[in-house]
Each structure stands twice: as C-alpha cells, then as structure tokens.
Homo-oligomer: A and B are copies of this chain.
Amino acid sequence: MTFQIAMSPRVRRSPFFEATVKAGATAFSIYNHMYLPTSYGDPEGEYWRLINGVSMWDVAAERQVEFLGPDATKLAQYLTPRNLSSFSVGQGKYVPICDHDGYLLSDPILMKLADDRFWLSIADGDILLWAKAVAAERRLDVEVEEPDVSPLAVQGPRAEDVIAHLVGNWVCTLKYFWFRKTKVDEIPIVVARSGWSKQGGFELYLLDGSKGQELWDSVAKMGKKHGIGPGCPDAIERIESGLLSFGGDTHPDTTPFEVGLGKYVDLKQRTNFIGKAALKKVAEHGPARRQVGLFIAGRALPNNEHRWPIFKGRRQVGLATAATHSLRLKKNIALALIDAAVKDRDALEVETPKGRRKAKITGLPFC
C-alpha cells in the first residue's frame, strides 16, 4: 500500500532535508518528531551501493540527549544496566535503557565527550523526557537537553576512503564507537566510527544545524570518485545483519534479555541503576520470549509492513517483527520474537500476506 506523507510544521525537518530532496528522496518516515528519508526510489540499487560501495544517509532523526554537569556520570550510570566504570572520553558504548520494571525504553549509543558531558544517541522515543524527569526528581546537578547535533552516516566498504579524504588518515585508526571532534570546510563535526549497518562506516555529527546542505555537499563531492550516492538505513541489510530496530522488534514489555542485549546487563555491579531489581528477577526465571532468525519457505516475499504471526500447530507462538527477501542469500529471512519454550527444531509457520509459509529457526546474524 502506498500513501502520501503529510507535510506539517509539527514535524521537524532535518538540517539535511533540502539536500535529500534535491538528491531525489521519494519516501520518508517520522522518527523522533523529524522526517527521516527511507527511499530514493531504487531499493535494490541502494542496497548494493551499501554492500559494495559507499552510501550517505540523513540520520539526523537519531537525536542526541545531552547530559552536562557535575552529576552527568551519575545520571548516565543510573539510566543504564551496563557497567560504565571503565569509560574513556572519546569512547561510545551501546547501552540499553530500561524502565523500573526492566522493560527496554531505548537502545542508544552513549558517547562520553568529557568527564561531565555525554550524548545519548537515541532510537525513536522521547528519552529526553525520561532523562529529564529522572534527573530533576533525583535533584541531580546536571542539565539534560537536546543539543543542535545531527548525524549524517557514511556507510559501506568504501566509507573509510571517503572519510579519510575528508578529514585525514587518522580516522583509519579510530576504533568502533570511538569519536573525535574536527572540522570539514570550517563546518564543526564529530566523527564516530559507527552506523546502523554492518558494512563499516562512520557517522558525522553536524554541530551547526544551519550547515546541513554544506556538509552534505562536501561529503558528496569528496565521495564522488568512490561512487558515493544517497541511501537510507536499509531494511534488507539490517535484517541480514541482525540489527535491532527498537519499537519495531521489541514490545512495550521486552527486557534486554529477550533481544540479545543481556550481555550489557551487569547485575553484579555495586552501583544501582533503574530496573536492577526487576532485571534480577528476570535473570533468575529466564525471559518470556527470545529473538531468533527465521528462514521462511517459498517464493520471494515483500518487506513486511506490519508484524506477521508465527504458529506452532494451531497455537500462535510469536511474531515475525521484520521480514525481507535477502538479496545476498536469495532466501526469505526474518527477525522474530517467539515464546521462550519454542525449540530451535520445532516446525513453525508464518502468516504472510502471500499465505501461510513454513519457517525454520536459525541463529543471528544471517550474513
């Protein structure tokens, strides 16, 4: 089904919005109250550009929540089950954020800019409200705000060539999730080795929202000889890579243990964090569901527009949260949340728009 997206002043435009329109964006979603380009009209071409070359994405909708002040570290540690006791300035960490019941609220990257300054690079959801309320009600000495910071992702095997030309060869030694502040044509940015694909790459965090077109143009110009072109977070690649889409692949009562984030939950640390008691109970009893990969039989399926029910015999045992036809595997694949009791060898069926199909559980990632 295809529908128009309403253009309204309630929804924010990214600093790169005009640039993406000029570059031929054809579809958008809304993410953190901001337009997020999702297609330039050539899904297969955009996929292969990401797999074999280099692609540039307006992901400004991945907003930052900044903690600034003497209690910034205290707030950061209280918000996540991950142990932050060893954390360097210039480093980023993938940190689940849970509520007091241990349910996942977001799966952001936490970036340590200084001993008293952090950014949470968030998934879709107003973590700004969550962090503000927690900080204020605990009377922490920290300011919690959304800064003027907008990421532009450069992803794909040739991304490093582009970014090295753009800012210097030092980026080649940048470790995963680490970052550094620099300038491109006098435009202030933070360069991080990160991004929502497994094809390698960087995110350029634009620090001046008035310079979106300029940064876009600089990257496009420098990337030209490497074959750079516009793209978006890629539905096919991210399923193949087993990357989590918070809100899509999670339920309101999903704990980190259900979606492969248990390794980031440190229940033994002395420090208290939100959800600790609840997560201890879940760890003792085991989670109710688990995320698995599925191969779905039969002819090529379209990307799923909503979740598809999974059956074991007559009983519904879960949902395929994200499904696609893998262009590399030439198979239908899906991420699924299923009852923990379902066994890997159980015969399953998925209710797709093309009818009921047999499905087999497999490990993640697919590629």
A9 to chain B: closest CB distance in Å? 5
What separation, in Å, do the CA atoms of A308 and B134 have in the docked complex? 35
Q: Out of B13, B38, B133, which one reaches A133, CB within 8 Å? A: B133
Whether B9 pairs with A28 at a CB distance below 8 angstroms is: no
A100–B134 CA distance with the chains assembled, in angstroms: 11
Q: A100 touching B4 by the CB < 8 A rule?
A: no
Q: Which of B9, B99, B125 contacts A304 (CB 8 A)?
A: B9
Assess whether A352 is interfacial by the CB under 8 Å rule.
no
- A127 and B8 CA atoms in complex are apart in Å by 21
With both chains docked as a complex, state the minimum distance between the C-beta of A224 and any C-beta of chain B, in angstroms: 26
Which B residues touch A194, using CB under 8 A?
Answer: none
Contacts of A304 in B (CB 8 A): 9
Contact between A9 and B321, CB atoms less than 8 A apart: yes
* Alpha-carbon separation in the docked complex, A127 to B9 (Å): 20
Docked-complex contact B7 and A1, CB < 8 angstroms: yes
A22–chain B nearest beta-carbon distance, Å: 11
Chain A residues bordering chain B, tally (CB within 8 A): 50
Interface of chain A: mostly helix, strand, loop or mixed: loop
> CA–CA, A247 to B126, complex, Å?
13
Separation in Å of the A158 CB from the closest CB of chain B? Answer: 26
CB nearest to A103 among chain B residues: B132
* B305 and A8 contacting across the interface, CB-CB below 8 Å: yes
Residue of B nearest to A145 (CB): B252
Any chain B CB within 8 A of the CB of A199?
Answer: no
Distance in Å: Cβ of A354 to nearest Cβ of chain B: 16
Is there contact, CB below 8 Å, between A4 and B30?
Answer: no
A204 at the interface (CB under 8 A from B): no
Name the distance in Å between A329's Cβ and chain B's nearest Cβ: 21
Query: Is B129 touching A33 in the complex (CB atoms < 8 A)?
Result: no
The reply to whether B5 and A305 contact each other, CB–CB distance below 8 Å, is no
CA distance A321 to B11 in the complex (A): 11
> B129 to A105, Cβ gap below 8 A?
yes
Chain B residues near A125 (CB-CB < 8 A): 33, 126, 129
Task: Using known A-B contacts A11-B29, A126-B129, A129-B105, determine if residue A3 contacts B5 with beta carbons closer than 8 Å.
Answer: yes
By the criterion CB–CB under 8 Å, are B9 and A322 in contact?
yes
Residue of B nearest to A25 (CB): B3
* A4 to B37 Cα, complex, angstroms: 10
B39 touches A4 (CB 8 A): yes
Q: Are B27 and A30 in contact (CB under 8 A)?
A: no
Task: Report the minimum CB–CB distance from A221 to chain B (whole Å).
Answer: 25
- Is A186 among interface residues, defined by CB-CB distance under 8 A? no
User: In the bound complex, how far is the Cα of B9 from the Cα of A225, in angstroms?
Assistant: 36
Q: Which of A6, A105, A306, A321 has the most B CB atoms < 10 Å from its CB?
A: A6
Taken together as a complex, chains A and B put the C-alpha atoms of A245 and B306 apart, in Å, by 29
Chain B residues whose CB sits within 8 angstroms of the CB of A146 once the complex forms: 252
Which chain B positions have C-beta within 8 A of A298?
none
Q: Apart from A1-B7, A13-B306, what 12 extra A-B contacts exist at CB < 8 Å?
A: A3-B4, A3-B28, A5-B27, A5-B28, A8-B29, A10-B245, A99-B129, A125-B126, A129-B130, A129-B133, A133-B133, A137-B137
Q: When A and B form their complex, which 5 residue pairs have the shortest distance between CB atoms, in order from nearest?
A: A10-B248, A133-B133, A5-B5, A126-B126, A6-B38
18 A–B pairs (Cβ distance < 8 Å), ordered by A = A3-B25, A4-B5, A5-B28, A5-B29, A6-B39, A7-B305, A8-B305, A9-B307, A9-B321, A9-B322, A10-B245, A30-B30, A33-B125, A129-B130, A130-B130, A133-B134, A136-B274, A137-B137
